[in-house]
Structure 1
């Protein structure tokens, strides 16, 4: 497919992924990867700002979130598969190397793409989540393991699907983490679809299937990490250690007074940071 044609879906191994392809059709491509429990709508505040800068954005609903891409087995959600999905998007859209921006789990996938397929990445921007190896070190050297308690709880079968969709727990948990009323309702409503909730949770359940060596590879593409000091899920140690795992040009920014939900809450500030980071490499 030519890079000057809009796409609404892409396919891989029989799975069909939905994509929001917006902005100037001839603009430099930026792939936006959402996290848990969100979808491509999490970029609604940021994407228009990037369009004004002349960028074209492609925001997929990733594996487990797109209705046509929800395999049942948890091993189907290991990081190598998630990375291959986004590489397929870049290739099928005919984009050539793209700027890759990810938040939360989307940031983890973005780190993987930059490490495994740097030929497909112009720049990497990770929001909230540090390099995987830095995160692992933080788990054993800081209070990060306490902040990540839910990762262990999500390993249980079927119970998390019921819990995260409930107003009693899911809504309160999202609000307590800093989400607005509207954003919490938006994301919780999607999780009421049990197959979607299972697919989203399988990202956590597939963590034991990720090869430790692949998670420790250094990144050599230009990289921007943005962390916020109001993040209840990610502590400061992992982000502080990330520079050890980036050999290319690297910038680390801390947003003060911002929660974990950076794309929704601080879109204007992220746009400013991306304006410098992306334009330097376009």
Structure 2
């Protein structure tokens, strides 16, 4: 059975979904846009039953208790600091970190900045940011795929996404996320200030420093029908990992891996974690 937590940090209190014994091996799971901790409901439950202590927080801007108004407060360094602060609050000296979409980007940056804190890192969909940056320069297709990141920085983005009963927002899930889950996401993001906070992740601008190669054991799961990330960045991610690395490709699966194929993905994750 999953439980709900409030994780108190200097930045504020994060809402979280959790399962598993308190003394179980700790795993932190970071959601993407436009989702919430609930995207990991299946994985948290399975990990908990397997004896892990799995915690999936609503991240900065998604948790009402951590929703600053300034765009600069959503810079990647603050998102990484949140991960460390939550782990500290949970009493975790070392932990496994899993992320999807934006959560995957935060996971990569955390692995670069705090390798001593991580037992392993898993990114779903999102390639290593260094590999993505290279692809954006060299691959016209990836540049086209990533155009949305610039488009969503516009001031009228919230209005467009929420118009006509959030039609544009609903389309993003490509009918691959359970309808009840989509309704929950739309309801959450329709709350005053919530969608602006989520979009501020895109508006915060480039990181202050460059990311390096990751030394902790890494699993990268990429799906062939992902509209956001193409094969160029996916296949070159291995060049940005110096530690043990596993790459898993899911055929005929879209961007929404954890919710579209929860059993298949969770099996890959468990196999990876069991080997560490």
Residue by residue, what CA displacement relative to the aligned partner does 1:199-250 show, whole Å, maximum 9, x if unpaired? Answer: 1000000133x1242x2x1100000000001111111111111111100000
* Contact in 2 for aligned 1:32/1:57 (Cα 8 Å): yes
Residue by residue, what CA displacement relative to the aligned partner does 1:164-202 show, whole Å, maximum 9, x if unpaired? Answer: 2233322123336x4343333232222111311011000
Q: 1:7: how far off?
A: 8.1
Question: Does 1:224 find its partner at 2:222?
Answer: no
* Contact in 2 for aligned 1:175/1:184 (Cα 8 Å): no
Give me the whole-angstrom Cα distance separating, in 2, the residues matched to 1:194 and 1:238. Answer: 36
Name the structure 1 match of 2:103: 106
Name the structure 2 match of 1:172: 171
Normalising to structure 1: TM-score of the pair?
0.91
* Contact in 1 for aligned 2:10/2:85 (Cα 8 Å): no
Which residues in structure 2 correspond to 1:124-203 (within 5 Å)?
A: 124-142=121-139, 143-157=141-155, 159-166=156-163, 167-175=166-174, 178-203=176-201
Which residues in structure 2 correspond to 1:6-45 (within 5 Å)?
A: 8-45=5-42
Determine which of 94, 99, 102 is the counterpart of 1:97. Answer: 94
Give me the whole-angstrom Cα distance separating, in 2, the residues matched to 1:50 and 1:26. Answer: 13
Gaps of 5+ in 1: 1-5
Q: 1:148: how far off?
A: 1.4
Gaps of 5+ in 2: none
Determine which of 181, 197, 203 is the counterpart of 1:205. Answer: 203
